[in-house]
A and B are shown apart, each in its own frame.
Chain A
């Protein structure tokens, strides 16, 4: 009985259309739901990144300007394309890169002419940065510090 009904349905074009439409509709719904979930996850991840990696910022020692660190990789230099640009002739076009991994910030000199100094020590390889460390690119000095804390070393 059941097989006869099924056989009859299989020969019907309308039945084929309905089954195909249901399959396509369900797959589309599923993929769009996954996309909406991805959007919600994005908001959570941004908050988490802010908590783990985005808690540091740079302070320009001369002007006291706050420079946010908002990516995993930040290029510092004189070039118009650098993420953080210092229009100072003592700074090379591509001077240094700040990296963050697992919430730990590092600085790497990119073979600049005047060098990069961390707490007055010239660096030759990647150096881990700690709160209140002073970084000097050429004659430009900045301090890396946690957001929302009182400045101590900045004059």
Chain B
């Protein structure tokens, strides 16, 4: 952290300026009847910038602020995108979820930065995962087997989303006790590895039961990162043999899963969108046409027609942004998320726990973004994923906030004042005495 606030002032000004330029683009190219329609959006975006930065500066003292600036930049740009779909307005729901995501980011940062403390509460992570799975099973009984949502009237949420940060934390904490291997038959097996595999298989079974196999790749990616970290640990000895065996097993599992997947998955995998334009391929066809209509520079904010299609602001949000803002601006989404993941590589983590945590978060976010964008462009089957930080959605945005907090924790390890003040005091007294003696 800089003691000189001017260094941060420069970045704060740039974030504000970027948002101002985005808002100016809305004024210059947007679809509105009266300029007053833009005011609520402008006030909300610039207000959140100022409030969040002031809160960070005066009420909170942390080692690094770069992740906060980047997160604020992305979230407010997503508010501008979401408020412009189909006409300039203000998407209050998305704005509130963005604020919640910022709060969750700070909470997650505070909870996950100290790996030693987290190790002591590791069992509660398994309890939390069990509780979420229990809630999912209860909702299956109450609302129907395939229902993934819980409706509280004023708020709807998807409990399965919250499994992602918990599973990433399980992966990260499992890396710390891997030395404790025991020989079972012919193999040296760590209890932690078994528990993590058990957790992954339980998630797989519950997703299978709920017919929500689309979100399985995110968990599989986080689990694969944990496995690779485990193989590569300790860092100098890279077990190529083990890695090849695991890759081969993984490939066999993927091929078998594709071959023996349930009927509804096979339908999705083999659908030809152009021959089924008004059926299963409707959304993808419209999304592709919207990308083509938008071109490089877009029709202008608010002039898009894709908003009339279901899930235009969630599952096919990439196409909606392409149509209104153009392909060039839409590419910025990929750039933002990749930047967010690259940032911890500049300020590298100092422990295997933080490394595994960052890799797990990166895997979840990259897979989620890839499945959404490639699905929208018909490069892979459409899975209905949301783009992190951009798509509208309460549970998804809160989960992204929690994951961003983990990224921040990974790049900002704990090295504040020592835990034992009495010991320091003793040393200070001793050094004081020596100085006096010398005099």
1/0 contact trace for B273-312 toward A, CB 8 Å?
0000000000000000000000011101000000000000
> B21 at the A/B interface (Cβ < 8 Å)?
yes
CB neighbours (8 Å) of B115 from chain A are: 72, 101
The answer to whether B11 touches A72 (Cβ under 8 A) is no
1/0 contact trace for A45-73 toward B, CB 8 Å?
10011001100000000000000000111
Which single residue of chain B is at the shortest CB-CB distance from A3? B35
1/0 contact trace for B48-73 toward A, CB 8 Å?
00000000000000011110011001
- Cβ distance B334 to chain A, nearest Cβ, rounded Å: 12
Select one of B1, B70, B335, B419 contacting A34, CB under 8 A. Answer: B70
Give CA–CA (A13, B298) in the complex, Å.
10
> B186 at the A/B interface (Cβ < 8 Å)?
no
> B254 at the A/B interface (Cβ < 8 Å)?
no
CB neighbours (8 Å) of B116 from chain A are: 99, 101, 106
Select one of A10, A29, A31, A99 contacting B300, CB under 8 A. Answer: A10
> A154 at the A/B interface (Cβ < 8 Å)?
no
Chain-A contact segment, one of B38-46, B350-358, B397-405: B350-358
Select one of A21, A42, A49 contacting B415, CB under 8 A. Answer: A49
Give CA–CA (A16, B294) in the complex, Å.
12
> B236 at the A/B interface (Cβ < 8 Å)?
yes
| 30 A-B pairs whose Cβ atoms sit less than 8 Å apart in the complex | A15-B29, A16-B326, A19-B297, A21-B328, A22-B25, A23-B25, A23-B329, A24-B332, A26-B17, A27-B332, A30-B14, A30-B15, A30-B18, A33-B14, A34-B69, A35-B66, A35-B346, A37-B7, A38-B66, A38-B347, A41-B347, A44-B2, A48-B63, A49-B415, A81-B235, A101-B115, A102-B418, A110-B180, A128-B420, A130-B423
CB neighbours (8 Å) of B114 from chain A are: 101-102
Binding site for B on A (CB under 8 A): 6, 9-10, 13, 15-17, 19-24, 26-31, 33-35, 37-42, 44-45, 48-49, 52-53, 71-73, 75, 79-83, 94, 97, 99, 101-104, 106, 110-111, 128, 130
Give CA–CA (A97, B116) in the complex, Å.
13
- Identify whether the interface residues of B are mostly helix, strand, loop, or mixed: helix
CB neighbours (8 Å) of A17 from chain B are: 297
**Given A19-B29, A53-B415, A82-B234: A71 and B351 interface contact (C-beta under 8 Å):** yes
The answer to whether A16 touches B29 (Cβ under 8 A) is yes
Which single residue of chain A is at the shortest CB-CB distance from B346? A38
Select one of B77, B237, B296, B415 contacting A20, CB under 8 A. Answer: B296
**Given A30-B18, A30-B73, A39-B346: A52 and B25 interface contact (C-beta under 8 Å):** no
> B150 at the A/B interface (Cβ < 8 Å)?
no
The answer to whether A45 touches B66 (Cβ under 8 A) is no
> B339 at the A/B interface (Cβ < 8 Å)?
yes
- Cβ distance A96 to chain B, nearest Cβ, rounded Å: 9
Give CA–CA (A6, B45) in the complex, Å.
23
The answer to whether B179 touches A103 (Cβ under 8 A) is no
The answer to whether A20 touches B329 (Cβ under 8 A) is yes
Q: Which 7 pairs, one residue from A and one from B, show the smallest C-beta to C-beta distance?
A: A81-B237, A81-B234, A103-B418, A72-B351, A72-B350, A38-B66, A110-B179
Binding site for A on B (CB under 8 A): 1-2, 7-8, 10-11, 14-15, 17-18, 21-22, 25, 28-29, 63-66, 69-70, 73, 77, 114-117, 179-180, 234-237, 296-298, 300, 325-326, 328-329, 332, 335-336, 339, 342-343, 346-347, 350-354, 412-420, 423
The answer to whether A20 touches B298 (Cβ under 8 A) is yes
The answer to whether B415 touches A52 (Cβ under 8 A) is yes
CB neighbours (8 Å) of A10 from chain B are: 28-29, 300
**Given A39-B346, A42-B347, A53-B415: A34 and B66 interface contact (C-beta under 8 Å):** yes
Give CA–CA (A45, B346) in the complex, Å.
12
**Given A20-B326, A101-B116: A73 and B351 interface contact (C-beta under 8 Å):** yes
Which single residue of chain A is at the shortest CB-CB distance from B34? A3
The answer to whether A73 touches B414 (Cβ under 8 A) is no
- Cβ distance B105 to chain A, nearest Cβ, rounded Å: 16
The answer to whether A49 touches B326 (Cβ under 8 A) is no
The answer to whether B346 touches A75 (Cβ under 8 A) is no
- Cβ distance A42 to chain B, nearest Cβ, rounded Å: 5
- Cβ distance B67 to chain A, nearest Cβ, rounded Å: 8
Give CA–CA (A82, B235) in the complex, Å.
8
CB neighbours (8 Å) of B117 from chain A are: 101
CB neighbours (8 Å) of A45 from chain B are: 63-64, 347, 412, 415
The answer to whether A80 touches B236 (Cβ under 8 A) is yes
Give CA–CA (A6, B300) in the complex, Å.
13
CB neighbours (8 Å) of B296 from chain A are: 20
CB neighbours (8 Å) of A27 from chain B are: 18, 73, 77, 332, 335
The answer to whether A41 touches B2 (Cβ under 8 A) is yes
CB neighbours (8 Å) of B352 from chain A are: 73
- Cβ distance A116 to chain B, nearest Cβ, rounded Å: 13
Give CA–CA (A83, B28) in the complex, Å.
59
CB neighbours (8 Å) of B329 from chain A are: 20, 23-24
